[in-house]
Structures are given as C-alpha cells and as structure tokens.
Amino acid sequence: MAPGPPPPPPPPPRDPPPVDVAKGERTEKTSDIIGTLRPTKLLKLSKPNTYVTSLDFDEKGQLLIAACSDDSLQVYSAREGTHVKSILSHKYGCHLARFTHHPQNILYASTKSDHAIRYLSTHDSSYQRYFKGHTASVTDLAPCPRDDTFLSCSTDNTVRLWNLQSQNSQARLNLATPYLAAYDPSATVIAIASASTSSILLYDVRNFDKPPFATFDMRQYDPPGSGGSNIPEWTKLEFSNDGKSLLVTTNHTQGHLLLDAFTGDLKAQLPRPYQPTWGILRSAPSAIPPKTPVGQGDSSFSADGRYVLGGSGADRDIVVWDTQGRVSREGDKKVIRPMCNLPCEKGKGAVVLWNHRYNMLATADTEVIMWLPDEHVGMTPL
C-alpha cells in the first residue's frame, strides 16, 4: 500500500514565555539567561543507593515528578523547590512517570509483574485505570500535547496508542525494536525510533495504522562498530518546540544527533566535551539486560528550541549547545561544540529536563537538582 500524503506542516513556531518562579511572569529571553543557570536546590532521596530514572514537569511547570529505582515516585514543587510527597509502588515498580493534562494525574510504566501502564492520581494515590497489553518492558511513554491520547513503546516490539478514557489500546504497530517515540508540537506527527534498523519512522496521527509517510535512514550516522548485533544506544527522541528539529539523544562518544525534522538530514552532531566513563550514562532501552540503571536520556531542548542542554560526560557539569551556532567540519562530520559550561559541585546530570514554562532546568542522578538563572554570574565558556 502506497503511503498517504504527508500531514500539513506544523503551525507557526511557539515560544512558551519563560516565567519568573517567584512572580509567575515573563522576565527574560532564554538567550539572555542560558549561560547563567546555576544549581539552587539539591533534594536528596530518602534512601541511599537510589537512582532517579525519569523526570517530568506538569504542563503548568509547577510540579516535578521523579520515578526512582526504589519503586517510589517523588513529587516536588518547582515553584518552591521543595519535596511535596512520596508515592510508593513497591508491588509494581515504576519508571517513565508522565503528567497528563489532568492536574495531579500521572501515567507510569510498571517494572514488575504484568508490564501494565498505570494511571494514578497523586492527590490521593488512587489508581484511575490500568492499561494492559504489553508483554514485555515498556521503554517509553509519550503523552499527546493536545488531547488525552498517549503512546507506549515496548521491548515486545509493539507501539500502542491509548486514550485515558479506555483501558484498551486504540491501535497497535508491530515494528522491530521501536523503543522511543515522540509527538511533534502540533500533535499531527508521531516519530518512532527503531534502534536495530537504525531508522526513524514518521506517522500521520490521523492514519496511525497506515505505513509511515517518511523514513529517516540513520545508518550513516551510526558510530564505528555499530553494525551487526551492536544496536545504537539511543536514549531519547524529542522534537523542538518549533517543530523544525528532532533530537536523538545517544550514549555514543560522538554525542547526540540534531536532525531536520522534515527531511531527516543531519544538521550537526552534538558531542560531549568529555568522553563518558562507565557509570556516567544510563543504559539505553536497547541494552538488555541494562548495564547501568535505566534513564530517559541526558539532554533536553530549551523552550525556544534553540539550545540543547545535557550532561558533559564528566561527573557533574551540564553543557549547552547552541543549535544556531557555528557548525564546523571535522573530517566528514558536521559538529556543533558546546558554547558554555554550567558548573555543578554536586550531582551528575544523568537525567536532564528543561521546564518549558519556566526558565528552569532539572537534573537528577542520586538526587534531584533544580537550576535557576543567577544574575550575579556570567557565562562560563568551554
């Protein structure tokens, strides 16, 4: 069956206004503060040797939820920089906690028992619904930015489309290792990354059960030695908020891949300034069994889509790439080097997430760190 016509282009770029944490008002452009972000709150987990495996902000940017390796969910106030409550999930385990459009309601993947996705009210810790169907570990959850649908990926080689109002999946795709998924900001396009085939498939949301309207062949960007049984270690898939770029976060030494979201062409590789050593990065979904604790990727777009913030590869610091910065030729590669360093004396950036409503960054490893602009410091170039 021939692919249908591609969906219409996304609406004009939207730049959600940065908000002052104290006043809830627009204050400064991202470009004015990006190099001055500094850690302001370090929130320790209650148990030693516990890792944060995922982070998510609610759509108002006021709450942050962390899924942890001790089978707990930790809720924080982003406005106050304080811990709000703990929710235990010892029976089912937890990973990939995601806020929905309904205030204080979340989805998360079970890591034990039946591989179900659970819909939970954080207000009273009651389960609203179970979404059962996957027969192996869930590797990604992607809520739709416009409505109550969401995607789930699994090592059972399926991607399922769900609606919060029904316990049954609305549609299913059978694909090879479809471990990551993302909606574009207009919610008209779905991207699915297949690590074993080194490809990214684009689907029209309206024709989810039809063949993809575009396929990006990523084999040319695989690191040396990634052929055969060595599956690329992709850890996250994310559209920029203007819909023009697609970021593939990787564990590779050559760094992350910044793609043109319409053509799949490589805009540039975003290398870390330091080569990561064992234990710095989290296991990719393709690593079975995991070599290190699982995560959800160590990079994130800023709200305006211009910057990428991510782990440096060293123990602590975060670095910033300017996607509109100078692209250099290094052999046959197009590369954007980090523009500055965001120093941090404590805590690794194993999980990194930008707050798209506030000028705020959250990072986590064995603790959660919140970052805010500091008007008393300048940019620290690399």
Cβ atoms of 158 and 134 within 8 Å: the answer is: yes
Output the DSSP codes for 127-144.
EEEEE---SS-EEEEEE-
Summarised one tens digit per residue, pLDDT across range 216-249 is: 999 998 876 554 446 789 999 999 999 999 999 9
**Residue 333: pLDDT over 50:** yes
- For residue 44, which of 370, 298, 315 has the smallest C-alpha distance? 370
**Residue 10: pLDDT over 60:** no
| Average pLDDT of the chain to the nearest whole number | 90
177: left (phi over 0), alpha (psi -120 to 50) or beta: left
Phi and psi at 305, nearest 5°, equal 75, 0
**Residue 33: pLDDT over 90:** yes
Q: Which two tokens stand for residue 148?
A: 């109550």
Average pLDDT over residues 59-76: 96
Summarised one tens digit per residue, pLDDT across range 249-269 is: 999 888 999 999 999 999 999
**Residue 15: pLDDT over 60:** no
Q: Which two tokens stand for residue 164?
A: 């919060």
Cβ atoms of 305 and 245 within 8 Å: the answer is: yes
pTM of the prediction?
0.91
Q: Write out the E strands in 256-365.
A: 256-260, 266-270, 299-301, 307-311, 318-322, 328-330, 333-335, 340-342, 351-355, 360-364
**Residue 176: pLDDT over 50:** yes
Summarised one tens digit per residue, pLDDT across range 103-139 is: 789 999 999 988 999 999 999 999 999 999 999 999 9
**Residue 278: pLDDT over 80:** no
